[in-house]
Structure 1
Amino acid sequence: MTTDAPTPAELDEWVARLAPELGLDAADVPTGRVLDLARDVAHGVARPGAPVSAFVVGLAVGRGLDLDEALARVDALLAERRD
């Protein structure tokens, strides 16, 4: 993998290698949704907030919060910032 922005294939390859290392099935990684979250936070809050927000959502999901609910809560907070 290069240091430039990865192609979708390179990102898929990375997730396919990373997920099993962390005891996960790569098929369970919603890459597109995580990227959407990062984009929305980067544009709506600040770029450094993107990875931190993805980590926080991952923690919440890992502790039992439904992914759709977690993302809806992030969306609601972002909407409050726009108002």
Structure 2
Amino acid sequence: MTVMDDWVTAACAELGLDPAEVSVPTVLDLAKDVAHQVLRPGAPVTAYLLGVAVGRGADPAATAGRLSELAGTWPVELGSDRPAGSDPAR
């Protein structure tokens, strides 16, 4: 097991969730897309929003896909506290 596996297992136990229902790669890919294409602090907020939506019955993979697509089309000038021409991954 990895540290991530251990963490997810422990966090799921704490919250009464089944770790088998948690798609870590889906959440990490979504967070990466938002962090790199919108802004870094948006990544954990978006992961939380995904969780709220899933808790209300949304399909996790489809919802993550919609949010990743939104991040991919996000205009740089709207998602920026960074100077023009700077690396969006920073």
TM-score, length-scaled by structure 1: 0.82
RMSD across aligned positions (CA): 1.7
Indicate the residue corresponding to 2:59 in structure 1.
Answer: 66
Among all aligned residue pairs of Structure 1 and Structure 2, give the percentage whose two residues are the same amino acid.
Answer: 47
Paired positions, count:
76
Higher-helix-fraction structure: 1
Would the aligned equivalents of 2:33 and 2:72 in 1 still touch at CA under 8 Å?
no
Indicate the residue corresponding to 2:79 in structure 1.
Answer: none
Indicate the residue corresponding to 1:26 in structure 2.
Answer: 19
Indicate the residue corresponding to 2:3 in structure 1.
Answer: 10
Indicate the residue corresponding to 2:33 in structure 1.
Answer: 40
Displaced runs of 4 or more, over 2 A: none
Higher relative contact order (CA 8 A, sep 6+): 2
Q: Quick one: distance in 1 between partners of 2:69 and 2:28?
A: 17
Indicate the residue corresponding to 1:3 in structure 2.
Answer: none
Larger radius of gyration: 2
| Shift of residue 80, structure 1, vs aligned partner | 2.1
Equivalent position SS for 2:2: helix
Equivalent position SS for 1:81: coil
Indicate the residue corresponding to 1:50 in structure 2.
Answer: 43
- Unpaired runs of 5+ residues, structure 2, are 77-90
